[in-house]
Amino acid sequence: MKITSAEFVMSNSDVAKCPNEPLPEYAFIGRSNVGKSSLINMLVDNKNLAKTSGRPGKTQLINHFKINKNWFLVDLPGYGYARVSKKEKKTFQKYITQYFLKRKQLVCGFVLVDIRHTPQPVDLEFMEWLGTNGIPFAIIFTKADKLKSEEIEQHVSKYLQILLEGAWEEAPPHFVTSSTKHMGRDALLNYIGQINAEVT
**Per-residue pLDDT reduced to its tens digit, 109-141:** 999 999 999 998 888 888 988 998 999 999 999
Percentage of the chain lying above the pLDDT 90 cut: 62
Question: How many CB atoms within 10 Å of residue 180?
Answer: 12
Residue 178 placed within a domain: yes
* 3-class state of residue 28 by DSSP: strand
**In the predicted structure, residue 189 carries a pLDDT above the cut 50:** yes
Domain encompassing residue 86: 6-199
Angstrom distance (rounded) from CA 62 to CA 74: 7
What's the distance, CA 180 to chain centroid? 17
Query: Closest Cα to residue 77, out of 26, 29, 43?
Result: 29
Q: What is the pLDDT of residues 58-83, one digit of tens each?
A: 457 889 999 999 999 999 987 754 45
pLDDT at 57 (0 to 100): 43
Angstrom distance (rounded) from CA 144 to CA 123: 18
Give CA separation, 199 vs 24, 77, 103, 106, in Å: 8, 26, 15, 11
CATH of the domain at 121: 3.40.50.300
Query: Closest Cα to residue 172, out of 144, 137, 133, 130?
Result: 137
How many domains is the chain partitioned into structurally? 1
Residue 1 placed within a domain: no
Residue 143 placed within a domain: yes
Give CA separation, 126 vs 35, 105, 150, 155, 196, in Å: 18, 20, 28, 20, 25
**In the predicted structure, residue 14 carries a pLDDT above the cut 70:** yes
* This prediction's pTM: 0.89
